[in-house]
Amino acid sequence: MAASFDPVPTEFQVPFAWLDGECVPAATAAVPLMSLTVHYGIGVFEGIRAYDGADGPAVFRLREHIARLFRSAALLRLEIPFAAAAIERGCTDVLARNGLRAGYLRPLVFVDDGKRGLGASNNRIRVAIATWPWGRYLGDEGVRNGIRAQVSTFARMSPRSFVPKGKVCGQYVNSVLAKRTAAAAGFDEAILLDDDGCVAEATGENLFLVRDGALCTPPPSQPILDGITRASVIELARELGLAVREERFARDTLLLADEVFLTGTAAEITPVREIDGHRIGGGTRGPVTERLQKVYLDAVHGRLPSRPEWRTRYDVRSDAAERSAR
Ligand code: PPE
């Protein structure tokens, strides 16, 4: 029997991508076969969301995401051949050209063909920005009632061998191994511990727990990504008067929490209702998580007047995608 593979969903198929400084037909925006990024994972990327709001569509914390893209590149000694402002502009341009009032953005810095082999260090650095409409990363039901997670037997990559603060393509093999192993065992997501047994993060999300009304999350000294959703949640929680501690904790503390939730651009704020068969708190979304979800959605949709700098507005003509695709 012939194997059947997942097709690209039609809603992901948009007419344009941004490549090396301009919007081009998405079908022509390709990575060369001998790109060093494909072979060795030596590339960096970002994940960003745009949301529609009463004042029009806007990208959430665009400047912070592009700043992290540059930090990730610096860790690999990749020199991005554009100014941050040009890439920020590329993000809003590609959304506008595709007529998207909301969507996910995936900037990718990759190394072109040129010299071959591990020692090649001077090949052209290229930048692409893809975009597509992306729904709830861990499902509508997960956002409402919580997901089931497994503590992975794969440890979070060690900072002795990798650079966990960088959003580096090849490093995601660590996440994919944990995610696929969890999925094969019937779980929605994996939580990774560091080499010392402390909780680090999930495969594509940072982790928070709630105990006696206060939040606790692993500190940046752990091998975790410096999540922008994590930073937003810390600020918003403190504004609501909730205590937030950045502290190391192990699996037992996690299992005894009143609430656990994950944060990420794609996952937004997703509650965890069960870990390795242990019910977390009431076994569904907890009240603190629900409160934070609401204020986070207010922030991304521009309903929070205290944070105008978090949103980069852009304009879309309703006929943009159709008109330009012709
Ligand atoms: N940790 C990891 C390992 C990670 O990949 C992400 C984002 C986060 C934490 C949260 O970071 P932030 O988005 O800045 O709050 N994961 C991205 C990729 C998901 C994917 O499937 O690919 C994302 O959420 O966009």
Taking CA atoms only, the protein residue closest to ligand 1 atom 9 is 205
Same fold yes or no, 10-135 and 140-300: no
Q: What's the confidence (pLDDT) of residue 138?
A: 83
**228-237 as b/e: b if 16+ CB within 10 A:** bbbebbbebb
The 3-state secondary structure of the chain, one letter per residue? CCCCCCCCCHHHCCCEEEECCEEEEHHHCCCCCCCHHHHHCCCEECCEEEECCCCCCEEECHHHHHHHHHHHHHHCCCCCCCCHHHHHHHHHHHHHHCCCCCEEEEEEEEECCCCCCCCCCCCCEEEEEEEECCCCCCCHHHHHHCEEEEECCCCCCCCCCCCCCCCEHHHHHHHHHHHHHHHHCCCCEEEEECCCCEEEEECCCEEEEEECCEEEECCCCCCCCCCHHHHHHHHHHHHCCCCEEECCCEHHHHHCCCEEEEEECCCEEEEEEEECCEECCCCCCCHHHHHHHHHHHHHHCCCCCCCHHHEEECCCCCCHHHHHHC
Question: Which residue CA neighbors atom 3 of ligand 1 most closely?
Answer: 204
Fold of domain 10-135: D-amino Acid Aminotransferase; Chain A, domain 1 (3.30.470)
**Does the annotation count 167 as an active-site position?**
yes
CB 236 within 8 Å of CB 298: no
Give 154's contacts (C-beta < 8 A, 6+ positions apart): 174, 177, 178, 181, 190, 192
Pocket test for ligand 1, best of 205, 224, 296 (most atoms within 8 A of CB): 205
Domain ranges of the chain: 10-135, 140-300
Ligand 1 pocket member 228 (CB < 6 A): yes
Please tell me the pTM assigned to this model: 0.96
Expressed in angstroms and rounded, the spacing between residue 265 Cα and the centre of ligand 1 is 6
Strand 58-60 to 48-51 pairing: antiparallel
Catalytic residue among 115, 167, 179, 294, which?
Answer: 167
Residues 6+ away with beta carbon under 8 Å from 24: 16, 17, 18
pLDDT of residue 244: 98
Per-residue pLDDT of the chain (326 residues; tens, 9 = 90+): 678 999 999 999 999 999 999 999 999 999 999 999 999 999 999 999 999 999 999 999 999 999 999 999 999 999 999 999 999 999 999 999 999 999 999 999 999 999 999 999 999 999 999 999 998 888 889 999 999 999 999 999 999 999 999 999 999 999 999 999 999 999 999 999 999 999 999 999 999 999 999 999 999 999 999 999 999 999 999 999 999 999 999 999 999 999 999 999 999 999 999 999 999 999 999 999 999 999 999 999 999 989 999 999 999 977 666 544 43
End-to-end C-alpha distance for the chain, whole angstroms: 39
Q: Does the beta carbon of 47 sit less than 6 angstroms from any atom of ligand 1?
A: yes
Distances (CA, A) of 92 to 1, 33, 52, 312: 45, 28, 13, 8
Q: What is the position in ligand 1's atom list of the atom closest to the CA of 65? A: 14
295 lines ligand 1 (CB under 6 A): no
Ligand 1 in reach of 171 Cβ (< 6 A): no
Q: What is the whole-number distance in angstroms between the Cα of residue 288 and the centre of ligand 1?
A: 22
164 lines ligand 1 (CB under 6 A): no
Closest-CA residue, ligand 1 atom 21, reads 204
- Residue 265 Cβ < 6 Å to ligand 1: yes
CATH architecture of 140-300: Alpha-Beta Barrel (3.20)
For ligand 1, say whether the CB of 227 is within 6 Å of any of its atoms: yes
Question: With contact defined as beta carbons under 8 Å apart, do 102 and 52 qualify?
Answer: yes
